[in-house]
């Protein structure tokens, strides 16, 4: 190397680029995995599953099934909820598939009922899952005030944080103004609840009036009708018995009771962005912990590999300066890897960090080969330029061949399709980038630096190491002299060893990803259908109290009456769930699986009638190996629902007898109760009523109806 300064300056330039690339790399939990699945969800609370299937699910299936490229359609219908999933082949452009499915959904909307919530369509993207979840509570604020504070203060403050893409609020109680009509008084005015609905809709609206053109200018106008305050509602005039007499008008407050769900409007907090002392915020889920641990492991592996490599080099070469050359090669190669990662749009995630940690162990191989050969040339008395030039010429081919061999072993995995290809493509790329970076450093920087390090007289430690190595070399030579005449025996011994280990390889446990014991346990509770919310809450509190008594438990987050995901929520009074976070694995005497087995035994001893409990550990969210949510899913197909249900019961009973299986259930075992009202059509026709009118009135009476919006 005649120009080492130029090589060093180029290396420094690459290091600067690596530092900038490091700052530009995003940090994620997983690689950019977008499964080839499109999902459609429609909610219509209170509608029986049979009606949802006939009027919603079947219409969606017929239209979505003809989406171009769809290879499978799966639907699930529950009370008030319809779910349809489309599956495509891996490698399909999911964005284009989403647009095609959205067009089919628009066509299906023409055949859907009018009263349903707007359909939601989305692609199965783990990046849409929240990174962290928090529960907010307060002993002083009522639920409506607390929800308003989280909506208007906390969520907006979080959105201003760097890196936060969205902040969604779910659960709690939102403010609502209830108009509880007196049916008898309405009937005395020859009105019904449907007339009251129409009056409220027409009264609470602003209608644009166009623009008023004057000689001096123009001004826009509108007919203002929205209620400015709750106190205006009782004064809303209603037509009296004599519709032609204005004096017979009555007020809404005379025939209905107005209830403000909030009691009064929320007073704005004086200090924006500050958490009041009477509000507690607890974290119930943190997906970033995987990233933090992966970063720590990668740094530990890099530091450990660098220190061990430096120690070995110092032991064999006895030179501190050569040792520092090895120590500098690792961070330089890592920075070069960062440049390649940024150039190809990769991110810091548990997969790329794992590849980087794996590649770090291979970074010093080429460097040590180059350094040792250069040292040998210097021992011959060659000048620095001659030693660097001769040594690099001798081993360049070997280093390139070794690097190519390593690349040839891993690069074919880039062509693997399916979920494995999506998940490990960045892993292979990171390993390949680290191997290439190590080759570049070994062929350029190491000769430039090591050629300038003079050879000094060997010390006692170095001479001792040389004697040990020489003795090992002599012993190896004598061993070869004895084995070469009977080479067939050596081959037979290795073949026998392979045969003996083959059964162990076949019987060894095979898993797709290593099991993680993060202490996150989810408990799902299902009671008999028809149970009310208070009774379900009492059952959930019994389980919650039993869980809280366990010494390993850190936090418990309980949801009763359905589930909440972001702004979406599904109501089901016979369901509840507990998110339990155990302490760190190092502080627990038992793992999560053993904790679940112990809790299952305790719950069985409690003998809680009518309650089914399912418990399972939570791994990395967003990684699914099949179309179901469980480790093993079976599907039974047939035209008769009763036969399928009977077969499902039989399969569940047999599977429960297999050791190692838990949480065994089938999709139709939870039946719901419903109240069916049969209309006497002749008598209804005599009163001028039809099925739609009776259904709307019952809807108002049993669950209410959102008539208009009140903007405070």
Q: In whole angstroms, give the CA distance from residue 418 to residue 413.
A: 11
For residues 217 and 580, the model is more confident at 580
| Residue 234 phi, psi dihedral angles, 5° rounding | -60, -25
Q: Is residue 218 in a domain?
A: no
| In a shared domain, residues 555 and 679 | no
Q: Is residue 711 in a domain?
A: yes
pTM of the predicted protein model: 0.66
Q: What is the pLDDT of residues 180-218, one digit of tens each?
A: 887 877 777 778 788 888 888 877 777 777 787 887 778
* Closest listed residue to residue 121, CA positions, set 97, 142, 137: 97
| In a shared domain, residues 425 and 469 | no
* Closest listed residue to residue 538, CA positions, set 620, 435, 608, 433: 608
| In a shared domain, residues 389 and 308 | yes
Q: What total of structural domains would you count in the chain?
A: 6
Q: In whole angstroms, give the CA distance from residue 638 to residue 150.
A: 48
For residues 222 and 555, the model is more confident at 555
Q: Which domain holds residue 144?
A: 132-175+261-286
Q: Give the whole-number percent of the chain exceeding pLDDT 70.
A: 87
Residue at token pair 């040990």: 468
| Residue 634 phi, psi dihedral angles, 5° rounding | -115, 145
| In a shared domain, residues 370 and 443 | yes
Q: What is the pLDDT of residues 610-644, one digit of tens each?
A: 888 888 887 666 666 555 566 777 888 777 777 88
Reading the block at residue 162, the tokens are 């760097």
| In a shared domain, residues 333 and 269 | no
Q: Give the whole-number percent of the chain exceeding pLDDT 90.
A: 1
| In a shared domain, residues 373 and 480 | no
Q: Is residue 669 in a domain?
A: no
| In a shared domain, residues 253 and 268 | no
| In a shared domain, residues 313 and 449 | yes
| Dihedral, 525, 527, 533, 536 alpha carbons, nearest 10 | -60
| In a shared domain, residues 440 and 354 | yes
pLDDT value for 270: 33
| In a shared domain, residues 324 and 267 | no
* Closest listed residue to residue 173, CA positions, set 44, 282, 281, 260: 260
- pLDDT over 50 at 263, yes or no: no
- pLDDT over 60 at 515, yes or no: yes
pLDDT value for 248: 61
Q: Is residue 595 in a domain?
A: yes
Mean pLDDT computed over every residue of the chain: 79
| In a shared domain, residues 234 and 324 | no
pLDDT value for 30: 72
- State the CATH number of the domain containing residue 563: 3.30.70.1430
Q: Is residue 107 in a domain?
A: yes
| In a shared domain, residues 253 and 270 | no
* Closest listed residue to residue 337, CA positions, set 271, 427, 257: 427
Of 558, 589, 623, which one is at a domain's C-terminal end? 623
Q: In whole angstroms, give the CA distance from residue 601 to residue 633.
A: 25
Average pLDDT over residues 398-412: 86
Q: Is residue 589 in a domain?
A: yes
Q: Is residue 649 in a domain?
A: no
Containing 424, the helix (H) or strand (E) segment is helix 418-450
């Amino acid at each position: 190397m005649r120009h080492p300064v130029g090589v060093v300056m180029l290396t420094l330039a690459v290091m600067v680029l690596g530092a900038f690339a490091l700052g530009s790399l995003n940090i994620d939990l997983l690689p950019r995995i977008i499964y080839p699945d499109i999902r459609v969800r429609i909610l219509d609370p209170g509608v029986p599953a049979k009606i949802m299937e006939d009027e919603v699910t079947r219409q969606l299936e017929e239209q979505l099934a003809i989406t171009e490229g769809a290879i499978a359609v799966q639907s699930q219908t529950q009370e008030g909820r319809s779910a349809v999933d489309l599956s495509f082949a891996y490698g399909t452009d999911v964005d284009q598939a989403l647009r095609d499915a959205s067009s089919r959904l628009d066509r299906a909307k023409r055949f859907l009922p009018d009263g349903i919530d707007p359909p939601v369509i989305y692609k199965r993207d783990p990046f849409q899952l929240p990174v962290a979840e928090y529960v907010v509570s307060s002993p002083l604020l009522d639920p409506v005030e607390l929800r308003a504070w989280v909506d208007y203060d906390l969520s907006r403050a979080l959105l201003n944080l760097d890196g936060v893409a969205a902040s969604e609020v779910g659960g709690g109680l939102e403010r609502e103004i209830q108009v509880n009509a007196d049916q008898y008084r309405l009937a005395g005015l020859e009105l019904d609840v449907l007339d009251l609905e129409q009056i409220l809709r027409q009264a609470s609206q602003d209608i644009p009036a166009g623009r008023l053109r004057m000689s001096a200018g123009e001004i826009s106008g509108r007919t203002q009708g929205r209620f400015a305050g709750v106190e205006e509602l009782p004064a809303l005039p209603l037509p009296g018995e004599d519709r032609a007499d204005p004096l017979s008008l009555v007020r809404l407050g005379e025939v209905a009771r107005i209830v403000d769900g909030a009691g009064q409007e929320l007073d704005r907090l004086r200090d924006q962005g500050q958490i009041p002392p009477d509000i507690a915020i607890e974290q119930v889920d943190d997906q970033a912990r995987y990233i933090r641990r992966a970063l720590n492991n990668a740094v530990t592996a890099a530091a450990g590999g660098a220190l061990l490599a430096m120690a070995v080099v110092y032991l064999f070469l006895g030179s501190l300066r050569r040792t520092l050359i090895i120590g500098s090669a690792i961070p330089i190669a890592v920075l070069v890897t960062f440049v390649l990662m940024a150039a190809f749009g990769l991110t810091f995630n548990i997969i790329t960090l794992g590849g980087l940690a794996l590649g770090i162990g291979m970074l010093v191989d080429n460097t040590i080969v180059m350094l040792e050969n250069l040292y040998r040339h210097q021992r011959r008395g060659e000048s620095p330029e001659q030693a660097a030039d001769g040594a690099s010429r001798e081993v360049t081919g070997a280093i390139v061949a070794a690097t190519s061999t390593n690349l040839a072993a891993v690069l074919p995995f880039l062509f693997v399709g399916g979920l494995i290809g999506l998940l490990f493509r960045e892993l292979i790329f990171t390993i390949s980038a680290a191997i290439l970076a190590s080759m570049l450093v070994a062929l350029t920087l190491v000769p430039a630096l090591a050629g300038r390090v003079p050879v000094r007289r060997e010390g006692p430690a170095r001479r001792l190491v040389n004697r040990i190595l020489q003795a090992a070399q002599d012993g190896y030579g004598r061993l070869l002299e004895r084995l070469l005449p009977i080479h067939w025996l050596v081959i037979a011994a290795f073949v026998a060893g392979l045969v003996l280990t083959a059964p162990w390889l076949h019987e060894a446990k095979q898993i797709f990803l290593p099991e993680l014991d993060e202490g996150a346990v989810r408990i799902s509770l299902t009671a008999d259908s028809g149970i009310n919310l208070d009774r379900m809450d009492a059952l959930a509190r019994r389980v919650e109290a039993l869980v809280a008594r366990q010494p390993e438990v850190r936090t418990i987050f309980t949801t009763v009456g359905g589930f909440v995901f972001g702004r979406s929520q599904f109501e089901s009074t016979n369901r509840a769930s507990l998110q339990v976070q155990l302490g760190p694995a190092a502080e627990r005497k038992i793992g999560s699986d053993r904790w679940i087995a112990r809790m299952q035994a305790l719950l069985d001893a409690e003998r809680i009638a009518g309650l089914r409990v399912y418990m399972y550990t939570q791994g990395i969210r967003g990684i699914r190996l099949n179309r179901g949510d469980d480790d093993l899913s079976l599907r039974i197909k047939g035209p008769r629902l009763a036969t399928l249900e009977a077969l499902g019961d039989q399969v569940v009973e047999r599977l429960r007898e297999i050791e190692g299986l838990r949480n065994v259930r089938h999709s139709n075992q939870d039946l719901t109760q419903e109240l069916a009202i049969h209309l006497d059509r002749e008598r209804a026709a005599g009163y001028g009523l039809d099925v739609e009118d009776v259904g709307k009135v019952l809807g108002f009476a049993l669950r209410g109806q959102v008539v208009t919006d009140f903007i405070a």
